[in-house]
Amino acid sequence: MIWNTHEFIWLDWVIIAVGILAVAWAVYHSIQKHKRSQQGADSEDYLFGKGEPWYIIGAAIFAANIGSEHLVGLAGTGAKAGVGMAHWEMQGWMILILGWLFVPFYQLMNVKLGKIITMPDFLKNRYTPATGSWLSIITLVAYVLTKVSVTAFTGGIFMESLLGLPFWYGAIGLIVLTGLFTVFGGMKGVMTLSAIQTPILIIGSFLVLFLGLSALGHGSIADGWTAMIDYSKTLGVGKDGVAYGTNHLFHFETGDPLYDEYPGFWVFVGASIIGLWYWATDQHIVQRVLGQQKGEPSDIVMKRARRGTIAAGYFKLLPVFMFLIPGMIAAALAARPDSGFTLENPDTAFGSMVKFVLPAGVKGIVTIGFISALVASLAAFFNSCATLFTEDFYKPMFKGKSEARYVLVGRIATMVVVLLGMIWIPVMMSLGSLYDYLQGIQSLLAPAMVAVFVLGIFSRKITPKAGEFGMIGGFFIGMMRLLTNIFTNTGKNEMTGWFWESTRWFWHTNWLIFEIWLLAFIVIMMYVVSYFTPKPSAQQIEDITFTSDYKTLIRKSWNKWDVIASLGVVLACALFYMYFW
C-alpha cells in the first residue's frame, strides 16, 4: 500500500464512512442519555444546554467560531495576503472580555428575570422592546445572508478541493445534514459534537502545518519556516517595484499594495470593534456560556462561564497556525517547481495541503474532524436562529404553551433558516470574494451593536430612546454604505456625477476607517439623544447595578489561577504581535 499518496485511497474512504457513523452514534447516545436524565422536552435545554463543564464550554465556543470560511477563506487569505487577516483571528484576549466583564451582567439579568436571557432580552430590558426586536431582526437577517450562506458556500468549495465532490453536492449536502442534526440534536448535540471534533480538528490541522513545513524545508520544520518567511518577504510588490512583504501585520507605507486593505494601525482598531461585537454580544457565541442548572448559584455559573472563556481564549490562539500559516506554506510550495505541489486557486489551499502532505489513513481521520467542524459551526448558527425566533418572537406572542411546542417551533425555525440559506447561495456566488464580503458586512453591523451594548452596560445616563436610535440609525447607515459598496465595487470604481462626487467621503473611505468613524458617530448620537429624551427608569438602572451581595458573588467566582491563566492568553497574543509586527 502506498502510504504517502497525494490522493484519497480506499482506506481513507472506509475510515471516513466508519468514523461518521461512530460520531453519529456517540452524539445520539449522548442526547438520549441527557433526555432520560431530563425526563421530557425542555425548550431551554434544547436551545441553550444545561451546565456543561468549563472545558466543554471552551471547546463549544471555539467550535462555533471555526467554520468552512476558515478552512477555505482564512487559508486562502494566507496564500494571497500573508498574515494580514490574523488581526481577526488573534483575538483570544477579546474572549476574556466576555468572561470577565459581560458574563456578570448577563447573569445578573438572568437572576432578576428568572430565566436565561437572549441578547435581545437584555436590550429590551435596558432600552425599549423595539431595540431588542430590531436586534433580533438584524441578527436573523445577518445569519441567513452571511453566516449560514457563507459557511455553506465555502464548505462546498472545501468538499470539492478535498474530496472531489461537485460543489453543489458538498454545499447542499452540508446544509441538509446540518439542518437535520440541529433539529434533532439541539444545543446538547452541538456541545457533544464540539467536544468530539475539537481535538481531531486541532491535531489534524497541526499535522498539516508541521508536515507542510517539513515538505517546504526538505525534511526540516525549522528550514521550512525560514523558507516560508523568506518567500513571503518577496511578495506585496508595489508600483514602485519594492517588495513590501506579506509577513507582517501592519502596513504603514502607502505604496504597499496591502495598505488599502489593512491601513496602518487602523486595522487593529477596526478588527477589535468587530471582535467585541462578535465575542461579547453576539447570540451565536454568548449562547454557549448562558446554560445553567435550575437553582444553581450565580457564582458557580460565572466561574464555569469565565473558565470556559479562558479555555476558548487559548483555543483562539490556534487558528492562525491551523489555517492561515498552512495557506502561506501552500503558496511557498506552489512557487517551488520541484515540490510537485500546484495551487491554481488560493481558496483551495487547505484542502490541497491535506491531500498533499498527510499519509493515507490519516487523511480519512482528519477529514472526519473537518466535516464535524463544518457541521458543528453551521449547527451553532442554526441553533442561535431557533433561539432568537422562539424566545423573542414566538414565546411573547404565545405564552403558556407546552415545552414540547416551544421545542417544535425552534425546530421549524431551524428548517426555515436552512431553506433560506440554500436559496441565498446562488446570490452569494455572484458577489466576489466571500471572505472579504463577510468581513465587510460585519464592519457595517458591529458599530451599532458595540455602541448600544457597551453604553447600555457601562453608562447609566444613556436613555432608552438613545439605545433605540443607536441600533436603528447605525443599522440603516451601515446598509446605505453596503448599497454604495455594491454600486462602486467597494469604492474601487471611479464614479462620476454630482451625487457620487459630493458623497465620495462616504463611499470611498477605507472600510475599516469608515467602521471606526461610524462607531464614533453612533456614540455621539446616543449621548445627544439622551439629553432630549426621558431618563431610564429606576428598574432599568437597577438591572445594570451590582448590589454588594452580587459583588461578593462575583468575587467568589474567580481566584488567582483564573487571573494567571487569563494573563497567559494576553501574553501569547502580545508575543505574536511582536514577532509579526
- Report how far residue 162's alpha carbon sits from residue 158's, in angstroms, rounded to the nearest whole number: 6
CB 425 within 8 A of CB 153: yes
pLDDT band (50, 70, 90) for residue 291: low
Q: Which DSSP symbol is given to 431?
A: S
Lowest average pLDDT, out of 53-62, 308-317, 419-428, goes to: 419-428
- Report how far residue 115's alpha carbon sits from residue 408's, in angstroms, rounded to the nearest whole number: 20
So what's the pLDDT on residue 330? 92
So what's the pLDDT on residue 241? 76
> E strands, 309-409, where?
none
Condensed to tens digits (0 to 9), the pLDDT of residues 510-528 reads: 888 999 999 999 999 999 9
Q: Which DSSP symbol is given to 508?
A: S
Using the predicted structure, report yes or no on whether residue 294 has a pLDDT greater than 70. Answer: no
Question: CA-based angle 324:143:323, to the nearest 5?
Answer: 10
Q: What percent of the chain has pLDDT over 90?
A: 24
Average pLDDT over residues 132-139: 84
CA-closest candidate to residue 281, choices 170, 416, 118? 118
The residue with greater pLDDT, 318 or 69, is 318
Q: How many CB atoms lie within 10 A of CB 255?
A: 14
Mean pLDDT of the chain: 82
H/E segment holding residue 513: helix 511-532
pLDDT band (50, 70, 90) for residue 367: confident
- Which single residue is written with the C-alpha cell 463611499? 507
Torsion sign, CA atoms 306, 307, 310, 315: negative
CB 112 within 8 A of CB 541: no
Please state which of the four CATH numbers 3.90.870.10, 1.20.1730.10, 2.40.50.140, 1.20.58.220 is assigned to the domain occupying 10-39+52-92+110-579: 1.20.1730.10
Grid coordinates representing 368 are: 472526519
Average pLDDT over residues 71-84: 84
Rama region for 215: left / alpha / beta (φ>0; ψ in -120 to 50; rest) = alpha
Average pLDDT over residues 340-366: 84
Torsion sign, CA atoms 165, 168, 171, 176: negative
Average pLDDT over residues 316-324: 91
For the chain, the first-to-last Cα distance in angstroms comes to 46
Condensed to tens digits (0 to 9), the pLDDT of residues 142-160 reads: 777 777 777 777 778 877 8
Average pLDDT over residues 58-75: 77
The residue with greater pLDDT, 449 or 288, is 449
- Report how far residue 342's alpha carbon sits from residue 44's, in angstroms, rounded to the nearest whole number: 49
Average pLDDT over residues 555-559: 86
The residue with greater pLDDT, 179 or 484, is 484
CA-closest candidate to residue 556, choices 309, 384, 300, 345? 300
- Which single residue is written with the C-alpha cell 461578593? 552
pLDDT band (50, 70, 90) for residue 349: confident
CB 207 within 8 A of CB 362: yes
Condensed to tens digits (0 to 9), the pLDDT of residues 21-60 reads: 877 777 777 666 656 655 554 445 544 555 577 888 888 7
So what's the pLDDT on residue 46? 46
Cα Rg, the chain, nearest whole Å: 24
Question: CA-based angle 311:109:459, to the nearest 5?
Answer: 90
So what's the pLDDT on residue 223? 93
Helical spans, DSSP H, in 391-463:
395-397, 403-428, 434-458
So what's the pLDDT on residue 15? 85
pLDDT band (50, 70, 90) for residue 494: confident
So what's the pLDDT on residue 33? 67
- Report how far residue 424's alpha carbon sits from residue 422's, in angstroms, rounded to the nearest whole number: 5
pLDDT band (50, 70, 90) for residue 567: very high
pTM of structure? 0.83
pLDDT band (50, 70, 90) for residue 183: low
CA of residue 313 relative to chain centroid, distance:
13
So what's the pLDDT on residue 96? 93
CB 82 within 8 A of CB 245: yes
Average pLDDT over residues 378-385: 73
- Report how far residue 149's alpha carbon sits from residue 44's, in angstroms, rounded to the nearest whole number: 26
CB 31 within 8 A of CB 41: no
Would you call 337 exposed, middle or buried from its count of C-beta atoms within 10 A (0-12, 13-18, 19+)? exposed
